């Protein structure tokens, strides 16, 4: 590196004057003629940097953007200038264009990269342009335009910078340029078309043409209106105005939940399914029955079911009993907030039941006592409609689900109704299948549904069936089995009754026949007079006995049915008298046993009454009579005589009035 006196002046301790700096350089180069030479094109002399002091050398190298490492001088990296463009904007335009425009940008990028590579190898720019034009067959003006587009742009951002604007401009023109329409006509068309009745666009256009003639509106074609509607009214607004808020809610992406942290039987969910089959029920009535299914959330296996005429508490209770008896007690339950499930006998005690009136003295429901009130979960009701996405069992009712495995079985041929009135089969209503045969078809369909292999979900992973996934987890899962008493509670229905003053209860579940109801009695209930107890019973054995529990589920006793007897039945009267005498004697002895001290002994232990001590009066008032002499006494005597005469007169007047009234009413 060679420097002149002008370049060294004032740098690194050198004199600031140019002449003095030259003299200093000549002195340093004396005796070294090869360290100085004349600079080409000028009259000045230049000196090799090695003759300068290290301090001056470092200052000069730093000034020129270089640094000396050992015997080698290298250039320092130049600080990059701040970007004068927006990378986000460039790449945003890349995502808005079509594939054809992107292919053109890739072709232009290859040409620009070829030009830059030739320049870095020392080839003149014009020669590089000509070489690339000949190689790729593009005009010189086009290539120079491509190179100009990427000036001052990082190479990583060249691709979006080389995009042509034709497609983007066309899209903007398409949005901004529609056929002319009178604003009033446009508002009329939107008000007619965007309604919940969902009229067709063609009919709305016919009405628009008729009104436009009367008002002198300018309207375009139907296709132009359709394009304008799609461009100006978002799809969300169209769905909201034509299909309603619930349809708009359904557009939002559903939430996906993972069940891998669960195990078999930890969480179950249930729902009712209306079969599309005509069934001759046990009472001879032809109906479409409804089955309540319980399914495991982890594996999706159907664990239990009960079929009935409708979705009711008994079918839910008995199917729940089947699940508990066969597999065990689940930890969590998810059900709909229906009248059959969200009643006090099944889920009583859950504070957020939202069905019926929740009272503080409601008995705890069966599910509440078995899994706990905090482990019962309700599916949400959104905008007046159920939220089926919250229950995995809903997917078993969809396409390829239980309808295929149960309703469309060969045994149900001729009884299948179709999923809706518009999809009735040709043999609709040919026959009705017997109830026993239909129940067998349900059992067979559920078995096939659980055993179907290659289920594609999170747990089955495309090769296991629901049953295999359930069994694999069930073997190592902590399962809580039900006791005999818990199963007995599920087998029996329940009713809350108030205990009468005689220690009896009356059930309303059996109805009333000729004004008669069943009464039940046990001496234990005498301790709960005028309180509510829960009677659990078998509906077909109402004339035998019922099991009595407290409202919070504590077992008390078994109450026997008390039947009415004939009015003249002396034998029944003697039996009743004997039982009443036994009851009285037993309770009298028990009552006497409660008192170890008689009333006389209690009275003897009472203390004697103490004589009252009257305190002495400190202030004494002198007595002064109101009057003195016979006048006062005479006055008092006169007042007493007048009072007695008045009473006598009033009495005689009352008797006379009574006699007159009796004579008046005589015929």
- Here the CATH number for the domain that contains residue 24 is 1.10.10.10
Distance CA 504, CA 398 (A): 51
Q: Are residues 325 and 404 in the same domain?
A: yes
Quickly state the pLDDT bin for 566 (edges 50, 70, 90). Answer: very low
Residues paired with residue 287 on neighbouring β-strands, in sequence order: 279
CA distances from 46 to 59, 264, 334, 486, 615 (A): 17, 91, 93, 108, 138
**Residue 256 within a domain:** no
What local confidence, expressed as pLDDT, does residue 639 receive?
Answer: 45
Which one of 415, 440, 474 terminates a domain? Answer: 474
Q: Are residues 441 and 311 in the same domain?
A: yes
Most confident region among 111-115, 335-339, 608-612 by mean pLDDT: 111-115
**Residue 558 within a domain:** yes
Distance CA 529, CA 501 (A): 6
Could you tell me the two tokens for 212?
Answer: 């436009």
Q: Are residues 326 and 431 in the same domain?
A: yes
**Residue 625 within a domain:** no
Distance CA 261, CA 171 (A): 49
CA distances from 267 to 183, 375, 401, 457 (A): 58, 9, 21, 17
- Give the model confidence (pLDDT) of 461-499 as tens digits: 999 999 999 999 999 999 988 887 777 777 677 788 899
Q: Are residues 444 and 544 in the same domain?
A: no
Distance CA 80, CA 63 (A): 18
- Name which of 251-260, 413-422, 475-484, 522-531 the model is least confident about: 251-260
What local confidence, expressed as pLDDT, does residue 45 receive?
Answer: 80
pTM for the full predicted model? 0.57
Residues in the chain: 667
Which one of 203, 226, 251 terminates a domain? Answer: 251
Q: Are residues 117 and 101 in the same domain?
A: yes
User: In CATH, what number is assigned to the domain containing residue 506?
Assistant: 2.30.30.130
**Residue 462 within a domain:** yes
Only one residue has tokens 């099944």, namely: 346
**Residue 614 within a domain:** no
Q: Are residues 48 and 122 in the same domain?
A: no
What local confidence, expressed as pLDDT, does residue 121 receive?
Answer: 84
Q: Are residues 241 and 289 in the same domain?
A: no
Could you tell me the two tokens for 472?
Answer: 């694999």
Quickly state the pLDDT bin for 621 (edges 50, 70, 90). Answer: low
- Give the model confidence (pLDDT) of 411-450 as tens digits: 999 999 998 888 899 999 899 999 999 999 999 999 999 9
User: In CATH, what number is assigned to the domain containing residue 233?
Assistant: 1.10.10.60
Q: Are residues 139 and 185 in the same domain?
A: no
**Residue 397 within a domain:** yes
Q: Are residues 410 and 314 in the same domain?
A: yes
Q: Are residues 137 and 201 in the same domain?
A: no
Q: What is the DSSP letter of 423?
A: G
- Residue 327 scores a pLDDT above 90: yes
Q: Are residues 404 and 283 in the same domain?
A: yes
Q: Are residues 243 and 166 in the same domain?
A: no
Are 537 and 547 in contact by the 8 Å Cβ rule? The answer is yes
Among residues 328, 325, 327, 353, the alpha carbon closest in space to that of 341 is found at 353
**Residue 90 within a domain:** no
What local confidence, expressed as pLDDT, does residue 403 receive?
Answer: 93
Most confident region among 1-5, 76-80, 519-523 by mean pLDDT: 519-523
Q: Which structural domain range is residue 7 located in?
A: 2-74
Which one of 533, 550, 565 terminates a domain? Answer: 565
Distance CA 528, CA 519 (A): 16
Work out how many domains the chain is built from and give that number: 5
Distance CA 57, CA 220 (A): 81
**Residue 350 within a domain:** no
User: In CATH, what number is assigned to the domain containing residue 298?
Assistant: 3.30.420.10
- Give the model confidence (pLDDT) of 622-654 as tens digits: 555 555 555 444 444 444 444 566 777 777 787
């Amino acid at each position: 590196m060679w420097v002149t006196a002008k370049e060294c002046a004032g740098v690194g301790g050198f004199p600031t004057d140019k002449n003095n700096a030259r003299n200093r350089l000549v002195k340093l180069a004396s005796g070294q003629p090869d360290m100085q030479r004349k600079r080409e094109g000028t009259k000045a002399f230049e000196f090799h940097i090695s003759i300068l002091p290290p301090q001056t050398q470092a200052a000069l190298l730093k000034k020129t953007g270089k640094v000396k490492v050992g015997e080698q001088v290298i250039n320092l990296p130049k600080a990059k200038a701040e970007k004068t463009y927006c990378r986000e904007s460039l790449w945003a335009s890349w995502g808005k264009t079509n594939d054809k425009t992107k292919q053109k940008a890739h072709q232009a990028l290859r040409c620009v990269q070829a030009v830059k590579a030739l320049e870095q190898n020392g080839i003149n720019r014009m020669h590089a342009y000509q070489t690339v034009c000949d190689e790729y067959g593009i005009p010189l003006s086009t290539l120079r335009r491509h190179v100009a587009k990427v000036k001052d742009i990082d190479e990583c951002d060249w691709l979006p910078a080389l995009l042509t604007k034709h497609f983007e401009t066309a899209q903007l023109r398409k949005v901004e340029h529609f056929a002319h329409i009178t604003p009033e006509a446009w508002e009329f068309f939107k008000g007619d078309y965007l309604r919940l009745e969902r009229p067709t666009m063609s009919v709305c256009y016919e009405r628009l043409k008729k009104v436009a003639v009367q008002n002198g509106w300018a309207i375009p074609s139907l296709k132009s209106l359709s394009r304008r509607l799609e461009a100006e009214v978002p799809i969300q607004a169209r769905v909201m105005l034509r299909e309603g808020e619930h349809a708009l809610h359904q557009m939002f992406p559903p939430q996906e939940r993972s069940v891998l942290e669960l195990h078999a039987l930890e969480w179950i969910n249930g729902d009712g399914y209306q079969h599309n089959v005509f069934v001759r029920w046990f009472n001879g009535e032809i109906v479409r029955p409804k089955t309540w299914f319980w399914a495991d959330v982890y594996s999706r296996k159907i664990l239990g079911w009960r079929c009935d005429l409708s979705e009711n508490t008994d079918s839910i209770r008995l199917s729940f009993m089947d699940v508990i008896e066969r597999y065990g007690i689940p930890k969590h339950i998810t059900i709909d907030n229906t009248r059959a499930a969200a009643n006090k006998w099944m889920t009583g005690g859950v504070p957020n039941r939202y069905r019926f009136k929740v009272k503080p003295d409601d008995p705890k429901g069966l599910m509440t006592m078995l899994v706990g009130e905090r482990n019962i979960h309700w599916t949400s009701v959104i905008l007046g409609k159920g939220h089926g996405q919250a229950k995995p069992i809903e997917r078993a009712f969809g396409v390829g689900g239980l309808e295929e495995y149960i309703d469309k079985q060969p045994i149900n041929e001729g009884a299948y109704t179709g999923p809706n009135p518009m999809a009735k089969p040709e043999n609709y209503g040919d026959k009705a299948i017997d109830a026993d045969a239909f129940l067998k078809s349900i059992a067979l369909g559920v078995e096939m549904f659980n055993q179907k292999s290659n289920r594609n979900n999170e747990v089955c992973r495309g090769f296991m069936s629901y049953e295999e996934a359930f069994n694999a987890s069930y073997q190592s899962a902590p399962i809580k089995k039900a006791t005999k008493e818990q199963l007995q509670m599920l087998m029996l229905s329940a009713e809350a009754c108030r205990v009468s003053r005689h220690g009896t209860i009356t059930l309303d579940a059996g109805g009333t026949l000729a004004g008669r109801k069943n009464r039940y009695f046990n001496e234990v209930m005498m301790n709960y007079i005028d309180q509510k107890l829960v009677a659990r019973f078998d509906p077909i054995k109402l004339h035998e006995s019922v099991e009595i529990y407290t409202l919070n589920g504590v077992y008390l006793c078994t109450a026997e049915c008390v039947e009415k007897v004939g009015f003249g039945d002396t034998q029944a009267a003697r039996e009743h008298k004997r039982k009443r005498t036994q009851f009285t004697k037993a309770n009298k002895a028990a009552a006497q046993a409660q008192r170890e001290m008689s009333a006389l002994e209690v009275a003897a232990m009472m203390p004697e009454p103490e004589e009252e001590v009257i305190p002495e009066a400190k202030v004494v008032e002198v007595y002064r009579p109101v009057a003195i002499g016979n006048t006062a006494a005479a006055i008092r005597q006169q007042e007493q005589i007048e009072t007695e005469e008045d009473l006598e007169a009033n009495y005689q007047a009352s008797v006379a009035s009574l006699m007159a009234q009796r004579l008046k009413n005589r015929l």
